[in-house]
Chains A and B, each alone.
Chain A
Amino acid sequence: MRGYPVHDPEKCIGCGACSNVCPTDSIKVEEREGKIIWIHNVARCIRCCYCVDNCPTGALSVGGEYSMIANSLNKLFIVHELDTARCVSCSRYVPYSSNIVSHLSSKVLKIDLKCERCRLGNVLKVIEKVREL
């Protein structure tokens, strides 16, 4: 029996691919107060598991539970919060989950993640220096 998809917040990188492909808009990936929030509305889900096919990290898998019995509407929502990474220089939040950062840095290369402001600040500094020259 194909049930509703099971989400593993440890693996999820908050990319939002599942939310884009879902035909019924059951999944939302939102950024809120320094967190990336993955919400699944099980009542809307049609158990097509197309999201599972399209998740790049295997954070989603086909579950065995088909029906969801709840005594209040809120329990039909599965909500997972993912931490976002912080800027290495000013420790403001950047809109990427810490999972994707660790994922990338373990696989590809060491990256220093900076927020937009710091990056912009760097660029401005460079421009100023160029002007001075």
Chain B
Amino acid sequence: MVIKVLEECNITPSRVARLREDTLLIDLDKSEIRDVVRCLVLEKGLHFATCVGVDYSGLSEGRLALIYILTRPRTKLVLRVLINENEDAPRVHDILPAAEWCEYEAYDLLGFKTSLPISDRFILHWGVPSNIRPLRKDFKHDVRLCSLASCKLVEKEGFVEVDPHHPFFYEHEDFLVKVVGNRIVDVLYVGSYINRGIEKVGESRLKMEQVPFIAERICGICGFTHSTAYCQAVESALNIDVPERARLERTLMLELERIESHLLLLALVAYAVGLRDIFLELLRYRELVMNACDVLVGNRKMYGLNIIGGVRYGFTLEQVRTVRELVEKLKDVEKVLDRLAESENVKKLKEVGVLPKDDAHKLGAVGPVARASGIDYDVRRDLPYAAYDMVDFEVPVMDSGDTYARIVVRYEETIQSIRIIEQVLSRRELVNGEIRAEYYSNPGKIGVGMTEAPRGENVHFIITGHDSKLYRWKVRAPTYANLAVLKRILIGESPKNAPIIIASLDPCLSCTDRLVKVRKW
């Protein structure tokens, strides 16, 4: 049967050697093999199993062979193509794609002469010199490929995209990390995907007193600091004295928000380094802060408390008492944070993504990023606003400037924030007195409002216009300043650390791009 099939493919029975009952060996010439394979596999329907490269030099003089194995029921066909050292290798993979891998493998490991570009290296690393062909009989089995002097590993260049496709990031950003081998050589940040012109809305459609609600929605995590900075800008432009009670209330909410933001970041760091238990515990403590906000203003986020000249609601004694209980429970978070900072997984982030002090200053880093690099600057202390001049707190500063320092600075700030909250809650003025000052709008006045957002210094600049509207409103969110350090801290690092280094900046891209669009309906 099979003989007949072979005859139809121009192979006379005399050329067929029977190795066993079911195994036939056929020696073919290089010029024949393509036609035979085409005929047997593509026309007669035999199954192509694989191909094998063989160095025959140990058995007969200086010859190489490529053996193709085909099968059909109860028959194995071994087609052998013997060639000389300097002949071109046989090739069938262009007519039979199934043969591609096994041919390339044979070319690579045995060093067949070919004119194909990929055949140079397919199995071995592309840096292994071309005279190394491990399956040749004259190659010793105990030689380490890369201990040879001639072995030079070429490092390939490529891009790693750290963007919403990356499991760690979900915002609209694109960090294109260029790598050579296992080293980052360049970073390109592509952002502003969600710039929808909140400033324009504030300048054109909204009245000055409506803007705080929209300003609060610049960021989903630290919104209150934006509305505070905006109100402060207007208050400084129009010379409004904010009553003490309103300032204390703002301080309280700002610090609750800072704890909430820092705990979220620290929880995410714990998640990223594989400490899921700490992640869950931190989020549980964060829930206490959210509940406190709910008790005070009726919302877990987006407090809607700020209004130009003060705040909308006065806190009552009862609310303050409930919050005090919650804060008492929150104090235990220190133990969890200790565990996070002491864990080996986080400690190995030391010396990773280092930002030296000079560079931090030159690149204009702000907030915890700058303080982790030894820059002792905190808007709360240096340009006091709200009620920060009435409370006592420390500004944690670290010198090493690495990812670990950026995490620890946030941890210490959380503890300080709890201290501030306790002091504010114990003040009598928090529940007595005026909450709002009257004001009159004047066109053409300039005001700058600054706050220390959880991520750093936050700047709002305004010029008042006619009809109690704004003439110009500019927002500089902290991440806007901090993204400048990306190149400095990422270049030279391993790409596997890139997500955690970027996360240690705590980037908030909505703030940076200033989302919100108000359209007519």
Residues of A bordering B, CB below 8 Å: 1-2, 21-25, 41, 44, 46-50, 53, 62
Task: Give min CB distance, A64 to chain B, whole Å.
Answer: 10
Residues of A within 8 A of B302 (CB): 46-48
Question: Are B299 and A50 neighbours in the complex by a CB distance under 8 Å?
Answer: no
Inside 8 A of B299's CB, which chain A residues have their CB? 1-2, 47
A2 in complex: contacting residue of B206, B211, B298, B520, CB < 8 Å: B298
The chain A residue with its CB closest to the CB of B519 is: A25
Check B298 against A53 for contact (C-beta < 8 Å): no
Asked whether any CB of chain A lies closer than 8 Å to the CB of B210, the reply is yes
Shortest distance in angstroms between B370's beta carbon and chain A's nearest beta carbon? 33
For window 206-220 of B, CB contacts with A under 8 Å fall at 206-207, 209-211, 213-214, 217
Q: A46 and B213 in contact (CB under 8 A), knowing A1-B294, A1-B298?
A: yes
Q: Counting CB contacts under 8 A, is B518 at the interface?
A: yes
Contacts of A24 on B, CB cut-off 8 Å? 213-214, 518
A-B contacts, 26 listed (Cβ < 8 Å): A1-B294, A1-B298, A1-B299, A1-B300, A2-B297, A2-B299, A2-B304, A21-B207, A23-B211, A23-B213, A23-B518, A24-B213, A24-B518, A25-B205, A25-B518, A25-B521, A41-B521, A46-B217, A46-B302, A48-B213, A48-B302, A48-B304, A50-B213, A50-B304, A50-B312, A62-B298
The CA-CA distance from A1 to B302 in the complex, in Å, is 12
Closest B residue, CB atoms, query A54: B209
A49 close to B304 (CB less than 8 A)? yes
Q: Which residue of B lies closest to A23 (CB)?
A: B210
Closest 5 CB pairs of A and B: A2-B298, A23-B210, A48-B304, A23-B213, A48-B213
Verify A21–B521 contact, CB threshold 8 A. no
B342 CB to nearest A CB, Å: 38
The verdict on A50 contacting B297 (CB below 8 Å), with A25-B518, A25-B520, A25-B521 known, is: no
Q: A21-B209, A25-B205, A25-B520 given; name 20 further pairs at CB < 8 Å.
A: A1-B294, A1-B298, A1-B299, A1-B300, A2-B297, A2-B299, A21-B207, A23-B206, A23-B210, A23-B211, A23-B213, A23-B214, A24-B213, A24-B214, A24-B518, A46-B213, A48-B213, A50-B213, A50-B304, A50-B312
Distance in angstroms between the alpha carbons of A48 and B313 in the assembled complex: 12
CB distance from A48 to the nearest CB of B (A): 4
Give the shortest distance, in Å, between A30 (CB) and chain B (any CB): 12
Docked-complex contact A50 and B298, CB < 8 angstroms: no
Q: How many residues of B contact A (CB 8 A)?
A: 20
Task: List residues of chain A with CB within 8 A of the CB of B312.
Answer: 50, 53
Write the B234-252 contact mask toward A (1 if CB under 8 angstroms, else 0): 0000000000000000000
* A133→B24 CA distance, assembly (Å): 135
- Which applies to chain B's interface (DSSP): helix, strand, loop or mixed? loop
Closest to B214 in A: A23
Residues of A within 8 A of B297 (CB): 2
Cα–Cα, bound, A49→B299 (Å): 11
CB distance from B483 to the nearest CB of A (A): 28
| B→A interface (CB under 8 Å) | 205-207, 209-211, 213-214, 217, 294, 297-300, 302, 304, 312, 518, 520-521
How many angstroms from the CA of A32 to the CA of B86 in the assembled complex? 94
**Distance, CA A23 to CA B209, complexed state (A):** 9
* B298 x A21 contact (CB < 8 A): no
Instruction: Evaluate contact between A44 and B521: CB separation under 8 angstroms.
Output: yes
Residues of chain B contacted by A22 (CB below 8 angstroms): 210
Q: In angstroms, how far is the closest chain B Cβ from the Cβ of A66?
A: 9
- Note all chain B residues with C-beta closer than 8 A to A1: 294, 298-300
| Neighbouring A residues of B213 by C-beta, 8 Å | 23-24, 46, 48, 50
Contact B210 A50 (CB under 8 A): yes
Residue of B205, B207, B521 contacting most chain A CB atoms (<10 Å): B521
The chain B residue sitting closest to A28, CB to CB, is: B521
Q: Measured between alpha carbons, how far is A25 from B520 in the docked complex, in Å?
A: 7
Q: What distance in Å separates the Cβ of B521 from its nearest Cβ neighbour in chain A?
A: 6
- For A50, give the chain B residue with the smallest CB separation: B213
Bound complex: CA A53 to CA B298 (Å): 15
Chain A residues near B217 (CB-CB < 8 A): 46
| Residue with the highest number of chain A CB atoms closer than 10 Å, among B206, B299, B312 | B299
A1 smallest CB distance to B (angstroms): 7
Task: Write the nearest CB–CB distance from A60 to chain B, whole angstroms.
Answer: 15
Shortest Cβ gap from A103 to chain B (Å) = 26
- What is the CA–CA distance of A50 and B213 in the complex, to the nearest angstrom? 9
**Bound: A24/B304 CA distance, A:** 13
Q: Which residue of A lies closest to B294 (CB)?
A: A1
- CB contacts (< 8 Å) of A23 on chain B: these are 206, 210-211, 213-214, 518
**Chain B residues closer than 8 Å to A47, beta-carbon distance:** 299, 302, 304
Chain B residues near A49: list those with CB within 8 A: 304
Q: How far is the CB of B488 from chain A (nearest CB, A)?
A: 38
CB distance from A21 to the nearest CB of B (A): 7
Separation of A98 and B521 alpha carbons in the complex (Å) = 28
Whole-angstrom distance between the Cβ of A5 and the nearest chain B Cβ: 12
**List of B residues within 8 angstroms of A2 by Cβ:** 297-299, 304
Q: Given the complex of chains A and B, what is the CA–CA distance between A97 and B300 in angstroms?
A: 38
A53: chain B residues within 8 A (beta carbon): 312
- CB of A21 within 8 A of CB of B304, answer no
What is the CA–CA distance of A78 and B205 in the complex, to the nearest angstrom?
A: 24
CB distance from A77 to the nearest CB of B (A): 10
Most buried by B among A1, A2, A22: A2
Q: Which of B210, B211, B518 touches A21 (beta carbons < 8 Å)?
A: B210
Report the minimum CB–CB distance from A119 to chain B (whole Å).
31
Closest A residue to B209 using CB positions: A21
Please give, as numbers and ranges, the residues of chain A lying within 8 Å of B209 by CB-CB distance: 21
Measured CA separation A118–B387 after assembly (Å): 60
Q: Bound complex: CA of A44 vs CA of B299, how far in Å?
A: 17
